[in-house]
Amino acid sequence: MSSARTLGELRASPFSENRLGSRRVKDELRDNLMVRLRKNGESPNDAPIFPGIVGYDDTVVPQIVNAILSRHNFILLGLRGQAKSRILRALTTLLDAEMPYIAGCEIHDNPYAPICRRCRDLVAKEKDATPIAWLAAEDRYVEKLATPDVTIADLIGDIDPIKAARGGHELSSEFTVHYGLLPRANRGIFAINELPDLAGKIQVGLFNIMQEGDVQIKGYPIRLPLDLAIVFSANPEDYTARGKIITPLKDRIGSEIRTHYPATVEEGIAITAQEAWTRRDANHHGNPVVPQLHLPAYINEVIERIAFVAREDKKVDKRSGVSQRLPISAMENVVSNAERRALTHQETLVVPRISDIYAALPAITGKLELEYEGEMKGADFVSRELIRAAIAKSYDTHLHGVSMNQIVQWFDLGGEIQLGDNAGAAEVLEGLCQIQGLMEKLTKLNVGPKDSPEVQVSAAEFILEGLHAHKKIGRNEERVFSAGEKQPKAPEKPMFEREEPGFGRKRSFN
């Protein structure tokens, strides 16, 4: 890292005038991206193009790469919770680790080509003794959520009468400008989220700065040839609902890139695993020791499938989408409910159960925009239905074709068991072992009698919840499982008819 403190030292450093003098932000992004593309070609797993962006490798990422190679300003279009902001923030990883600028300059002037009056005067006077400061990549990212009340003053600047009075300057002098967000982001990345919400005349101001580097502040023309990579995000549904992007600005946005929700449950699980706060074992500043978390695969799957099922459900508003933040928040609440139970019962292992997902309704209901039919039934009811559908699907992926007749019979003969989400594992396990045929099925979930009670209870409960989701057994509000309502003898689903091969023979040894 260069430690140049003056313009003279900078000239002799790797940040020479030859390299930096005319290099713009978009050149810098392009240069560093080219290096990364080569590395990624050599070892894709060790050198991802955008670290932490999951599920976009074949769709969104190549389009962003092309936009940056083309030195485009670009816009990400997509429904909420599709990692748009995250992608925009990840662009800072393509900036140099540190960038030199003229010390004290509010708009981080290029030492070789200052645009502000103060710095031009300073360099003329101090020459190679002009002091240099350094800016880290993360500090070169400015983000603004567009709202209808954003003004030109916010974005570009304002005449500061106090500055004018103090300095004895003419009001129109450059010295009297109080810079807005855009100039302050000079030589960096400026991101505007939800662009259509920006008033039309502000978009015109934005267009002028992108096009000509010229702006008018309160009638005074000021030339600010800023060096910026401007990126945007927008929700396509807002175009018609709330506002639009003015044509000349749209025309200046080089690439329009569509984002999407994870294409597969596996990708969704990977994103949720990355984003949700589940690694809570940090025992710093005297925190009590947190019990160890064991997260069964079927729990990950059910949580993720809630979002997938919701995105297909006609009671949920399609245009507003179902954010990836739904499974992420749900996961955090699920782990917390399991944590609460483990702490109450002095258990050393936190193992989430399906009942913890029902207990996570507060993290789910608020994230669903409902259609009229859904509104009539209520967010709670709809969410429970979604969870139940997610359980049924996950049950099928793990236990398809496994005969559960013996378990269903046990309930049909009057068996009942209560499995509250607050009940400790040890006490519940005893009851579960009474259900004929249940515990031996846990091997299908890679759980055996040697596993801890917490793990066994969670797996057994998943099977019972799955049977309930498929209407094979009943369950009431108090979480008492019992015989299902007797249905007319309809042809059963294959999964309950087929004895798994070899199983009957093995069972006779039990």
- For residues 65 and 113, which CB has a smaller minimum distance to Zn ion in the complex? 113
Structure tokens at 118: 């103060």
* Residue 5 Cβ vs Zn ion, minimum distance, rounded to whole Å: 17
* Residue 191 Cβ vs Zn ion, minimum distance, rounded to whole Å: 23
**How many CB atoms are located within 10 Å of the residue 262 CB?**
22
| Beta bridge partner(s), residue 350 | 293
* Residue 139 Cβ vs Zn ion, minimum distance, rounded to whole Å: 16
* Residue 276 Cβ vs Zn ion, minimum distance, rounded to whole Å: 43
Q: Are 102 and 119 in contact (CB under 8 A)?
A: yes
What separation, in Å, do the N-terminal and C-terminal C-alpha atoms of the chain show?
Answer: 70
- For residues 64 and 105, which CB has a smaller minimum distance to Zn ion in the complex? 105
**Which residues make Cβ contacts (< 8 Å) with residue 379, sequence separation at least 6?**
365, 366, 368, 370
Structure tokens at 228: 């910026």
Q: Are 210 and 73 in contact (CB under 8 A)?
A: yes
* Residue 227 Cβ vs Zn ion, minimum distance, rounded to whole Å: 12
- Letter for the amino acid at 451? D
Strands 417-418 and 480-483: antiparallel
**DSSP letter assigned to residue 491:** P
Residue whose C-alpha is closest to residue 300's, from 347, 340, 376, 351: 351
* Residue 101 Cβ vs Zn ion, minimum distance, rounded to whole Å: 8
- For residues 190 and 298, which CB has a smaller minimum distance to Zn ion in the complex? 190
Q: Are 105 and 285 in contact (CB under 8 A)?
A: no
Query: What is the Cα–Cα distance from 482 to 216, expressed in whole angstroms?
Result: 74
- For residues 226 and 309, which CB has a smaller minimum distance to Zn ion in the complex? 226
- For residues 86 and 120, which CB has a smaller minimum distance to Zn ion in the complex? 120
Residue whose C-alpha is closest to residue 357's, from 378, 326, 325, 323: 326
* Residue 120 Cβ vs Zn ion, minimum distance, rounded to whole Å: 8
Please give the C-alpha separations between residue 181 and each of 109, 140, 155, 231, 448, in angstroms, as whole numbers. 15, 12, 5, 14, 60
The contact set with Zn ion (CB under 5 A) reads 105, 109, 116, 119
- For residues 105 and 229, which CB has a smaller minimum distance to Zn ion in the complex? 105
- For residues 55 and 183, which CB has a smaller minimum distance to Zn ion in the complex? 183
- For residues 110 and 272, which CB has a smaller minimum distance to Zn ion in the complex? 110
* Residue 195 Cβ vs Zn ion, minimum distance, rounded to whole Å: 28
